[in-house]
Structure 1
Amino acid sequence: MESGALLVAGLEVVYGRSVRALHGISLDVPANGVVAVLGANGAGKSTLLRAVSGTLSLHRGAVTAGTIHYGGTRLAGRDPALIVRAGVVQVPEGRRVFANLSVDENLQAGALSTRGLRQGKDGTAKARANRDRVFELFPVLAERRTQRAGLLSGGEQQMLAIGRALMAAPRLLLLDEPSLGLAPMMVGRIAGVIREIAAQGVAVLLVEQNVTVALDLADKAYVLDVGEVRLAGSSADLARTDEVRRLYLGEEEAAGADAAGTPAPPAPRKPLRRWGE
């Protein structure tokens, strides 16, 4: 396996005793580039990220089959802190910044789990260098460094959540719905930063409902439907499929109307095809 690559094979996840959320999921994320995971609510996208980051148990979930390897190291069953130290860091949906702490204090919290970081001069210098990098990506955070995070706008909180994750010096960044609830202009800014992060050598696994943004950012994409991979391929190829264009990009033909002007019922949803069928 390529160093720094993520490989998920035959993954199955159950919540509680009987709710099966993922059914034989397989995907790979190369050490360089962006891979997007698309799908409707409940498709299993966030569950997939939780399985990779080791946080499933916090949601009463468990991996029941399959494997997750990062750079050749098995992740399933490992403590989340060890996964972070291995270079895999997740930015959760909803930002979840520490509202009562300042911007600087939130970033310091992210630095506590930096892989290989130790107390002392070397650790302090590494944390300072990571913080400087975050401020280069997000100048507004430098301007608001002493401000309480809870007083930031939604877009600024998303920047802080990503910046906090970057303080841990990840090699693989897991992003869960980074555009959720943001204005279009802020979505564009966040997308630009994700592109810059990838250009700096950090692999990105992106879960995103804004399909237009996701396909523009990603080299490769997977479409999940009820816990299964239904489509997979390059972003350009997926954007040309009827399923993605109709279900996610809003390119559905308007329904006709009868002579009385009554709209025709919508066409029944066709089952998604696996890529290559």
Structure 2
Amino acid sequence: MTKTILRLQMPCKIHFISGLPRSGSTLLTALLRQNPRFHASMSGPLGGLFGTMLVEMSQRNESAVFISDAQRQSLLSGLFENYYRPETDAEVIFDTHRSWTTRLPALKQLMPHSRIIACVRDIHWTIDSIERLVRKNAFSPSSIFSYTAGGTVYSRANGLAGVDGMVGYAYDALKEAFFGEDTERLMLVQYDTLAREPAKVLAAIYDFIGESHFQHDFDNVHYNAREFDLRAGTPGLHDVRKRVEPVQRTSIVPPDLVRRFENDSFWKHPENNVRGVRIV
């Protein structure tokens, strides 16, 4: 019996933003939104819904015997259309979620023309950025740490870097994609490059997704997720500066923690890039 593969038939293109937290995905989203043909936003619910649907359509559910692979694909494709179409008529949509780098084989079948842009940054600077938020909001326990108070920079770093932690999960998911078989669909955007040379990064992204270039304004960048950040107990989590530029600062992470993560930026070593992943 021939297996039918259904593909998403939306009147728009969908691409994905993923990668490491605190690595420029909100800034990239804010820039992409300047293009009137594009829709982009912070991390949303579709990544979680996608995973939940896969589980509920698995053999864990006794009724799954009535669901064919073609139906699974149709339902998952419909998830994107039914979520976005009531809200936007954009020609190109960018959906953001850390899990998309683990879904390359599925997305390749559902949306053959989709691409994943993964934002990356040295791990210790990611930890540093989160630690700064914790200290800035000293009277507001964060959802990042399940609203618990107390702990130390070491316990927080250990929790973040664990396999189920905010950073550890995203890091492992990124490696899965980077060393996988579908790397022609993956681009890595380094935070430092985005901050220093945003025009270069945006030009590379437009070429990667096959879209006509657009003149972005790097001196007037706007994004507002204050209500979400407040509910998360982490005001400032998705703030972006009005002007795109690098900011020099000294890390507040202890030196031994910096050394712990100093060799984790695998994408910086050409010998690791055996599949020719695009890196900007």
* TM, length-normalised to structure 2: 0.29
The structure carrying a bigger helix percent of its residues is 2
The structure carrying a bigger strand percent of its residues is 1
* TM, length-normalised to structure 1: 0.30
